[in-house]
Structures are given as C-alpha cells and as structure tokens.
Amino acid sequence: MDYTNFNVLDFISDENFQNWVIQPNENSNDFWSRWLKKNPEKSKIVNKARSVLLNIKFKEDFPEDEDVEFALQKLLVRIQTSNEADSTRRIYSFGNKLRKIAAIFIGLIIISASLFYYNWRFAKITQSTQYGEIKTIILPDSSKVILNGHSTITYLKHWFKHQAREVTLEGEGFFDVNHLNKNIDTILPNERFFVHGKDITIEVLGTAFDIRQRRGETEVVLQRGRIKLSVRDSSKTKIIMTAGEIFTYDPTAKKMIQAMTIPENYSAWKEKKLILNHPTLEQIANYLEDNYGKKIIIEDASLKERKIEGPILLNNLDDALFIISTVLNTNVQRKDSVILIGTRKTSE
C-alpha cells in the first residue's frame, strides 16, 4: 500500500493502520517505524490518526449473569432430549457468541459514528481562482474575502463560536473581517481570526487588509484596523501593524521591511486597476505574469527600468499590453503562451 498521499481520514480507515494502532505486533511496529523514517513529514498526520483511533471507546454491553442463568434454566426445562449435557453446552456456547456479536456490532456503530463526526467536524472548503479571475467569497462568519487571480483559500466548513477562526491563503487576497468584538483591546481567544500564509501568520483584530504571496515574498498592506504578524523561522517578536502600513518579508534573505504607504493602491486590483508606486516595466511584467499566467520576456534590457506613471487598467491582459506598447513606444508580440516585449517602435 502506498501511504505517501494519505490524509488523517485515510489512515483511520485503513485496516492495516487500525491493526497496528489497536493490536500492534513486532512486524507492524517494524513496518511503520521504517515507513515513518522514510516519510518524516507525515509523522504529524500519523500521530493525529493514532490519537483518534486510541480515543475511540468501545462499549461492551453484556447482560447480567442472573438474567442469562434464568433464561437458560427456562430453556433447559423445555428441552426433552436424552443428551441434556450436550444441549446445555450448545446453549452456553450460543449465548457467548451472541454476546460477542453484540459487542462487535456496538463497537462498529461507535467507529462509524466517530468517523462520520470527524469527517463532518473537520470538513474543509477550498476555493481557487484561475489566471485573470477575481472572486468574492463570504466566509461562515460573514467576513468577506476577494481572491485575485491564481490564488487559493482553504478553511473549515463548520465554524464554532468557542473556537478562533482560521483560513489558509496561497496567492493574493483582500480580507474584510467581521468584528466579533468592537473593542480590539479586549479580544477573547475565541474571537480571534487567523490568516496562515506560507511564511507568516496574521492575527486579525477586526480589520481590512491585502496579503500577497508571490515569487517567494510576502507582502501585507493594512487598510484599516490593526493586525499582529508572526514570522516563521524568525526570532523577532510579533509585529503590530496599524492602518496605512506595508510589511514585506523575504524569507530567503531573512529581510523584513515595515513602512507607511497608500494602502488603496495595493488593493486597486479589486477594481481591475494596477496602481504601483512608480513601477518599472519589469515590475509590471512580473505582476502580469503572476495574475495572467503568461510568460513575459523583455527582449530589450534597457526597457526593464523604464517607468510608467499612473494606473493601468486590468480589464484584460490585452488592454494592459496595449498601454505598455503605447506609453513606452515598444513592440509587443504573442507567441503561444509567451509574450515578447521588444525594442522601441520605429517611426514611420
């Protein structure tokens, strides 16, 4: 069996895994020990599945001995055969089998109910956007997320009032989080909202912000409210951001930058506009690649540092390329999934 792609529920449902957890032996211990050494990244999932199985309580419901004896005596009185001893042994054997079957049946019901609850309780929803697509998502607490192109958000289907709210984001999204407590200085544990990215976790204290994860970097721009950042693989204490700030993190260089900015410019993509701060052609090309999935090659290296001032409309990729071609007076060609930005146009 290939277990490399198993999730928690897959392990719980696997007979070999169940036998190892509930009735381990030398062979099964040896197999799973060697498998976990080869697949250390799965140890967390395996331990979680083990914990679920070990915490399932099997209920054994046996009748009282007096009740069994009374029933047997009534049966023995009615039996009129010459071999009463053999008949009695059969009856006791049958009674033991019934009790074992009942215990197994109850155990199976409990396992099925536990698996059903686990599957329901931890069911996840994943929503994604295609290149060039923008999608609005309403979360279970009525918070709103707008996903930019080529992005994915994942969260639990069922949210409970006694637990913090959590989502995982890949790509870029604008969050408008619903307040559960208007006083952000007295937020209770169950009122918190977490956004987990690849390299950072954002604790939201009731706010609106944009988070972008592209080309190995993470960028957070706070429009209103306040958020708390914790950076993975960093000894730095948690970072508090206030409205109007931008935070950029490069995990490769371990570089963090926190500064003031115009937050509306970074969320203008919601209205299909590209507003960058004095962007170079190379920066614009990178942004278009990330959101439209086309490879853009700037053939003339001298054009890479050319800047375009003002907003660029992003109704579609063709419009953006037309603006680049017109403003910078360059040739733009399409070759399958590749876009070539060439030398300057020659005057006629």
Q: pLDDT digits over 6-56, tens only?
A: 888 888 888 888 888 888 888 888 898 889 999 999 899 998 888 888 877
Q: pLDDT digits over 316-347, tens only?
A: 788 888 888 888 888 888 887 899 988 665 55
The pLDDT assigned to 328 comes to 83
Mean pLDDT of 222-244: 83
Closest CA to 140 of 167, 117, 110: 167
Question: Does the structure show a pLDDT above 70 at 58?
Answer: no
Q: Could you give the C-alpha distances from 125 to 27, 99, 138, 154, 196, in angstroms and in order? A: 38, 43, 12, 6, 15
Residue 310 CB contacts under 8 Å (≥ 6 apart), including other chains: none
Using 50, 70 and 90 to split pLDDT, how confident is the model at 215? confident
Mean pLDDT of 177-191: 73
Q: By the 8 A CB rule, do 324 and 281 touch?
A: yes
Supply the pTM of this predicted model. 0.60
Question: Does the structure show a pLDDT above 70 at 214?
Answer: yes
Residue type, 87: S
Q: pLDDT digits over 285-302, tens only?
A: 998 888 888 899 998 888
The pLDDT assigned to 117 comes to 59
Question: Does the structure show a pLDDT above 70 at 222?
Answer: yes
Identify any residues that bridge with 313 across adjacent strands, giving them in sequence order: 273
More confident residue, 199 or 88: 199
The pLDDT assigned to 167 comes to 94
Name the DSSP class of 305. T
The pLDDT assigned to 228 comes to 87
The pLDDT assigned to 163 comes to 84
Cβ-based neighbour number of residue 122 at 10 Å: 14
Element (H, E) at 52: helix 43-54
CA 229, CA 220: separation in Å to the nearest integer? Answer: 9
Mean pLDDT of 229-248: 84
More confident residue, 13 or 109: 13
User: Which value, in Å, is the radius of gyration of the alpha carbons in the chain?
Assistant: 31
Question: Does the structure show a pLDDT above 90 at 159?
Answer: no
Residue 183 CB contacts under 8 Å (≥ 6 apart), including other chains: none
Average pLDDT value over all residues in the chain:
80
CA 4, CA 35: separation in Å to the nearest integer? Answer: 9
Q: Which residues of 80-117 are buried (b: 16+ CB within 10 A; e: fewer)?
A: eeeeeeeeeeebeeeeeeeeeeeeeeeeeeebeebeee
Residue type, 1: M
Question: Does the structure show a pLDDT above 90 at 126?
Answer: yes
Q: By the 8 A CB rule, do 11 and 42 touch?
A: no
The pLDDT assigned to 275 comes to 76
Q: pLDDT digits over 249-265, tens only?
A: 988 888 889 999 988 88
CA 1, CA 15: separation in Å to the nearest integer? Answer: 11
Closest CA to 101 of 48, 60, 46, 133: 60
